[in-house]
Amino acid sequence: MQVIIKENYDEMSKEAAQIIRDAIHLKPNLVLGLATGSTPVGTYKELIRMYEEGELDFSKVVTFNLDEYVGLPPNHDQSYHYFMHDKLFNHININPANVHVPSGIAKDFAKYCQWYEDEIKKAGGIDLQVLGIGSDGHIGFNEPGTSLASRTSLVTLTEETIRDNSRFFEKEEDVPRFAITMGVGTIMEAKCCLLLANGEKKADPVSVLVEGPITSQVTASALQMHPNAIVIVDKAAASKLKRVDYYKWAYENRPRF
Ligand code: GLP
């Protein structure tokens, strides 16, 4: 696992956007996994800037989002479908046919989840998966206790996640109780995982993700078993890591050959 510690949110976002840009330059038809939440918004802004300045072409890029709230139609302003269009897709030259955000209003969720998995496979698998981390250590909506081998499925959110995400809704009661999410096993099949975290609230889950035991109680810790995981954090989110000096040293002296 490569741990990159940046001074602040802006630096974290720029570093992440550069990694995504370089991956698209290498493979113009990159299969890009995307995340919602406030953490990647700065990265998306930077990608939009790169597109506007002619540095990036999304015309062949294929995207798969991690998750969606159950019960919210795509045009609901708190749906992840809406969020992704508002924060990224409406501002770049992505082909709408290449965009995949799980549906929160499928008729048969078991069938739909299998279809989503099949679509990822048909696209050749995810090359680069962007991830945030919940304050309870979840990736996607894989809450504590989820099998680290889980596949795309319908899940029940924890009260902590409902409370955390209520800041985007008028009242806590409006936050959906269920979501559809790529599983930990699905995420682990991405060729590269790029997890972003900023702020003090993420210091505890980040410390387990990077240095704690691998445990289904912090599903992000599964990334310790991923052959190519990059974790970019700001100073506040890194504040509970024990081996900061080494991570900085290893980053400054990373092999460039
Ligand atoms: C939600 C999403 C996660 C995201 C998390 C953190 O629960 N399902 O994918 O990582 O929120 O959100 P934020 O970045 O706003 O802290």
Q: What is the CATH number of the domain that holds 156?
A: 3.40.50.1360
User: 106 lies in a domain?
Assistant: yes
3-state secondary structure of 4: strand
**Distance (Å, whole) CA 141 – CA 220:** 11
pLDDT tens readout for residues 92-124: 999 999 999 999 999 999 999 999 999 999 999
Q: How confident is the model at residue 128 (pLDDT cuts 50, 70, 90)?
A: very high
Asked if residue 141 has its Cβ within 6 Å of ligand 1, the reply is yes
Is residue 257 scored above 90 in pLDDT? no
User: 257 lies in a domain?
Assistant: no
Catalytic residues: 67, 136, 138, 143
Is residue 9 scored above 90 in pLDDT? yes
Asked if residue 34 has its Cβ within 6 Å of ligand 1, the reply is no
Q: How many residues does the chain have?
A: 257
pLDDT tens readout for residues 55-88: 999 999 999 999 999 999 999 999 999 999 999 9
Residue nearest to atom 1 of ligand 1 (CA): 37
User: 177 lies in a domain?
Assistant: yes
pLDDT tens readout for residues 213-247: 999 999 999 999 999 999 999 999 999 999 999 99
C-alpha of residue 180 to centroid of ligand 1, in Å: 14
Domain that holds residue 189: 2-252
Asked if residue 68 has its Cβ within 6 Å of ligand 1, the reply is no
User: 114 lies in a domain?
Assistant: yes
For residue 129, give every residue at least 6 positions away whose Cβ sits within 8 Å of its Cβ, in sequence order, or none.
Answer: 32, 33, 66, 187, 190, 192, 193, 194
**Distance (Å, whole) CA 27 – CA 191:** 13
Could you identify the atom of ligand 1 that is nearest to the CA of residue 133? 10
Neighbouring CB atoms inside 10 A of 156's CB total: 12
Asked if residue 134 has its Cβ within 6 Å of ligand 1, the reply is yes
What is the domain count for the chain?
1
- The stretch 171-196 carries a mean pLDDT of 97
3-state secondary structure of 239: coil
